[in-house]
Amino acid sequence: MYRTHHCNQLRAADIGAAATLAGWVHMHRDLGGVIFVDLRDREGITQVVFRPEEQPEITKLAHTLRQEDVIQVSGHVAARIEGQANMSMTTGEIELVADALRILNRADVLPFPIDGEAANEDLRLSYRFFDLRRPQMTRNLRMRHRVTKATRDYLDEQGFLEIETPILSKSTPEGARDFLVPSRVAPGKFYALPQAPQQYKQLLMVGGIEKYFQIAKCFRDEDLRADRQPEFTQIDIEASFIRPEDIFALVEGMLVAIFRASLSVEVPTPFPRLTWREAMDQFGSDKPDRRFAMNLVDLADVFSDSSFKMFRGALDSGGAVKAINAKRFAGITTGQLEDLTTMAKHYGAKGLAFIKAENGEWKSPIVKFFTPEERAVLTQTLAIEEGDLVLFAADKWEVVCEVLGRLRVRIAEVQKLTDGSDTLDFLWVTEFPLMAFDAAEDKWNAVHHPFTRPKAEDVPLIERGEFGDARAEAYDVVLNGVEIGGGSIRIHEPELQAKMFAALGVSAEDQQTMFGHILRAFRLGAPPHGGIAMGLDRMVMLICGEQSIREVMAFPKNNRGQDLMSQSP
């Protein structure tokens, strides 16, 4: 055998015992002819000592070792010399005194240090097989395993079956571009890699499976960023005869199990809930980070009769006026304020009105338009104090919420309001809009997908053509401002599905071309069903405290969609 113990196993109780270890040379030191090697494997590090007075030949061989050489070493466990114990290591009380050494493989010059500051990302990804030896990467992949195992164990206990769905499938409208695979046997035709197993899991419900899950690979040809990859993994769940409350309880229980297994923390349940409108109104985001304040404050009552045309005009046209108070941020630099203004304009604002409370006065070009009464009410409503920065938005409600929500998050980043926070703020966001109007295409589109069920009381709105007011039986679960899962109750009746397709402008011919298989299934006794998909990569990223999902995937693509290691594509 290559080893009797791993490198994080030997303790003081093993002193005097024989042992054989195998691993990589993590550190190599020559102290007056005595060679010390820190030997590392996946589990940890053990110090090995080669003494020339006892084993001159193997000590001579040990002298040739270099960092990351792969070796096997045998010897006996001994206590470290008095005063030399390293209590920061779990094996720090002992060392292995070597009497045999076998070099299993030599390492060339290393592309970057294994234990120093991480190299630039492209270099790391070019040598990902080497980068994976870094303790941080080993820890992250071990954590990912714990999350997937806890998921499987929990869902198995709840009676769910893990079932694989096809990778080569048909293109369906999921919101992003498909990756296409040409068919050799059908020239000119293509398979699509699944953006999600959405239709297959619904068909499994028609097939009477009732409780399905899958750790599913999904593929989307979309622009990349820190929390996106062209191929990613999701925890896919679907169940029959289920309501939103059942989904909430199931997912909350699963997350309790996941965080207990991964971080040894207890997550309180039930999670708080906000409707989509409440989340947007209060935080300007459908995935709000509530670990810091700075909520959006509605100022319609303050400016409904104001002579300030910018605010009064927005209200008179049916829009909104809101503000956020960035406490202790009046010292913002001119450059930072310009960046915030640019951001506001990017998300639809015409500009960015502000007030700095400095040196006992309000500094702003708009203050001269406020009456003393308006200033007094603003002070009280926004809790304005010395050193505060107040930012305003006046426009359509959607634009105001989006702009201030983005500014809120950006200011929190600049002020480092969540740095060092160990808070786990779980939240359900419910009642998303069912449809959204695309002005460029001059048509209504499903916010999620065309099989999302409208709330029962909103079906008449669809029948009357009031699509923008219809809400969906859709829900997202959010952690610390990051959406980690989303799902919905599905339409299972052909009649209601026909109304939805009519609202979306999908012709009868297109219905059969794109969805004929699932529509036929719905006419053969489809049960009520619903589900959710959880972003595994994103959740593990948050658990590990990383800023990019690339840090929790074994072989990710870089931010240009390239695998630099294998030169693909």
Q: Is the pLDDT of residue 488 over 80?
A: yes
- pLDDT, residue 174, reads 59
Are 398 and 338 in the same domain? yes
In a domain, 373, yes or no: yes
- Residue 307's identity, in one-letter code, is S
- pLDDT, residue 449, reads 87
Q: Is the pLDDT of residue 21 over 70?
A: yes
Do the beta carbons of residue 426 and residue 345 sit within 8 Å?
Answer: no
- pLDDT, residue 516, reads 85
Are 250 and 140 in the same domain? yes
Closest CA relative to residue 50, chosen from 69, 38, 67, 36: 36
Are 246 and 142 in the same domain? yes
- pLDDT, residue 175, reads 66
Which domain-ending residue is among 415, 448, 464? 415
- pLDDT, residue 97, reads 97
pLDDT band, residue 518 (cuts 50/70/90): confident
What stretches of 229-308 show up as alpha helix (H) in DSSP?
A: 244-263, 276-283, 300-303
Are 91 and 206 in the same domain? no
Are 121 and 266 in the same domain? yes
In a domain, 436, yes or no: yes
pLDDT band, residue 228 (cuts 50/70/90): confident
In a domain, 429, yes or no: yes
pLDDT digits (tens, 9 = 90+) for 96-110: 999 999 999 999 999
CATH number for position 425: 3.30.930.10
Mean predicted lDDT score pLDDT of the chain: 94
How far apart CA 257 and CA 264 sit, in angstroms, is 9
In a domain, 285, yes or no: no
How far apart CA 362 and CA 97 sit, in angstroms, is 73
Provide the domain limits for residue 138: 117-163+201-270+527-568
In a domain, 187, yes or no: no
How far apart CA 35 and CA 156 sit, in angstroms, is 51
Are 129 and 245 in the same domain? yes
Please state whether the predicted TM-score (pTM) of the whole model is above 0.85.
yes
Are 459 and 502 in the same domain? yes
Distances (CA, A) of 118 to 122, 131, 448: 11, 9, 39
CATH number for position 313: 3.30.1360.30
Are 354 and 394 in the same domain? yes
Q: Is the pLDDT of residue 5 over 90?
A: yes
Identify any residues that bridge with 478 across adjacent strands, giving them in sequence order. 427, 483
Are 129 and 79 in the same domain? no
Q: Which two tokens stand for residue 117?
A: 């500051």
Are 247 and 389 in the same domain? no
In a domain, 194, yes or no: no
pLDDT digits (tens, 9 = 90+) for 266-305: 999 999 999 999 999 999 999 999 999 999 999 999 998 8
In a domain, 90, yes or no: yes
Are 140 and 257 in the same domain? yes
**Total count of domains within the chain:** 4
Burial class (CB in 10 A: 0-12, 13-18, 19+), 29: exposed
Which domain-ending residue is among 380, 415, 450? 415
Are 333 and 253 in the same domain? no
Q: Hey, how many other C-beta atoms are within 10 angstroms of the C-beta on 271?
A: 17
Which domain-ending residue is among 386, 415, 444? 415
pLDDT digits (tens, 9 = 90+) for 127-161: 999 999 999 999 999 999 999 999 999 999 999 99
pLDDT digits (tens, 9 = 90+) for 59-94: 999 999 999 999 999 999 999 998 899 999 999 999
In a domain, 112, yes or no: no
CATH number for position 101: 2.40.50.140
